[in-house]
Amino acid sequence: MKTEKISELTTNRLSIYLRCLNELSAEGAKTISSGRLAKRFHLNSAQIRKDLACFGEFGVRGVGYYIADLKEQITKILGLDHKHRVAIIGAGRLGMALTDYYGFTQTNFEVAALFDADEEKIGSKVGKVKVFDLKNFERVIRKEDIDVAVIAVPAQFAQSVLETVAKSGIKAVMNFAPTPLRFADDIKVKTIDLTISLESLSYFLAKPQND
Amino acid sequence: MKTEKISELTTNRLSIYLRCLNELSAEGAKTISSGRLAKRFHLNSAQIRKDLACFGEFGVRGVGYYIADLKEQITKILGLDHKHRVAIIGAGRLGMALTDYYGFTQTNFEVAALFDADEEKIGSKVGKVKVFDLKNFERVIRKEDIDVAVIAVPAQFAQSVLETVAKSGIKAVMNFAPTPLRFADDIKVKTIDLTISLESLSYFLAKPQND
């Protein structure tokens, strides 16, 4: 594998390819060309070839890609060949919705713990997942072997929660609080800001059509 | 305003600039240069100038941008100078979490109706928002003057829900079902796929450090 910097847009596309390959595989297909893969899933075949070329030589002339093999390779590249254990901080509606989000339940991400500061919530369960006291964050994530944190608290608490998360040694964070957060270079924080997505829909509605 | 195609990355950045300007404005600032704006919010000053240049001449030499004026312009560009009324389809945990998502409540997006097919949910309320029968979608969205739909149903129902939405004349859709959807060119569907975001975090954890 080349070690050059891979952009997040590339890894996002790898995720999509993986999902497409899973679907083909479930249908019993063994091989597929970049052209047919692109046509079937409305992708760009040159982009597929370019993205995969960042990681090695996967295609076979006259055959295309061996689906099982390519799935395995992408799974490894994305680090999905082992389970990730996830902590969700904030046991409000959003945190609870995320706990049983199909995306988590159907992939290699397993929600292992919820955290909250509200004493009424601490000790309760959402499905099989227990709500712990945020004060015990570091101890619980070590015990539960958690490597991904999801911040689902109101914006004004997000920075302080992120500091607790960073202190515990977790390096991968998904943040739902629509607020700019400060953090060190060795931690990856991905903010999911639904407001920005909404505003891009608003732009689409506002702009003159046919441009 | 130029009518050339503006990418979603540009409109996403405009959303971010708007949020930054709101913060500056709340602090009482009147003007700001692209350099100071970039420094304060960890943005790129050349990118700010380039993005804004797509829409007109907003900067004043030796002054920078007049904050109130630039806020007003970006608000107009993004179509945020009037309210959008939102329907959420799916009154499960995710739909309910979105109903009181601060992003909706603090912007120009107002959740006006929830829809579900489950008779036990129909007629109930989430906060002030009523759950309607999905069968009556078109009638309710006309009556409630709704222009944005959010799909928060399990993946296997998403395509059929999208068809109901499209038939009603709604042109802007935010989709939370992690599944490829088919739709016509005159409708904008923005899929928020948390699995893809998770997998990009996984890649970050898997890759060799310092590359």
The pLDDT of residue B211 is 42
| DSSP-assigned beta bridge partners for residue A132 | A115
Q: How far is CA B165 from the centre of its chain?
A: 17
Give the model's confidence band at A211: pLDDT under 50 very low, under 70 low, under 90 confident, else very high: very low
The pLDDT of residue B210 is 41
Task: Report all structural domains of chain A as residue ranges with CATH numbers, in order of start.
Answer: 8-77 (1.10.10.10), 84-197 (3.40.50.720)
The pair of three-digit structure tokens given for residue B198, joined into one six-digit string = 């998770």
Q: Coil, strand or helix: which one is A205?
A: helix
Q: What is the DSSP letter of B207?
A: S
Q: CA-CA distance, B80 to B100, in Å (whole number)?
A: 19
The pair of three-digit structure tokens given for residue A197, joined into one six-digit string = 């997505």
The pLDDT of residue B185 is 87
Phi and psi angles of residue A172, each rounded to the nearest 5 degrees, phi first: -130, 120
Q: What is the ipTM of this complex?
A: 0.76
Asked if A174 lies within 8 A of B80 by C-beta distance, the reply is no
User: Does B4 score more than 70 pLDDT?
Assistant: no
Which residue, among A200, A207, A210, A211, would best test binding to B if mutated, counting the most B CBs under 10 Å from its CB? A200
Asked if A197 lies within 8 A of B190 by C-beta distance, the reply is yes
Asked if B202 lies within 8 A of A104 by C-beta distance, the reply is no
User: Does B147 score more than 90 pLDDT?
Assistant: yes
Cα–Cα distances in angstroms (integers) from residue B106 to residues A51, A203, A204, B79, in the given order: 39, 18, 20, 16
User: Does A105 score more than 70 pLDDT?
Assistant: no
Asked if B199 lies within 8 A of A107 by C-beta distance, the reply is yes
Contact B83, B55 (CB under 8 A): no
B198, B152, B202: which is closest to B179 by C-alpha?
B152
What residues in A contact B101, CB-CB < 8 Å? 94, 194
Cα–Cα distances in angstroms (integers) from residue A4 to residues A10, B25, B188, in the given order: 12, 41, 34
The pLDDT of residue B136 is 97
Which residue, among B194, B209, B210, would best test binding to A if mutated, counting the most A CBs under 10 Å from its CB? B194
User: Does B122 score more than 80 pLDDT?
Assistant: yes
pTM: 0.75
User: Does B177 score more than 60 pLDDT?
Assistant: yes
Q: Coil, strand or helix: which one is A149?
A: strand
Residue with tokens 């829409």: B55
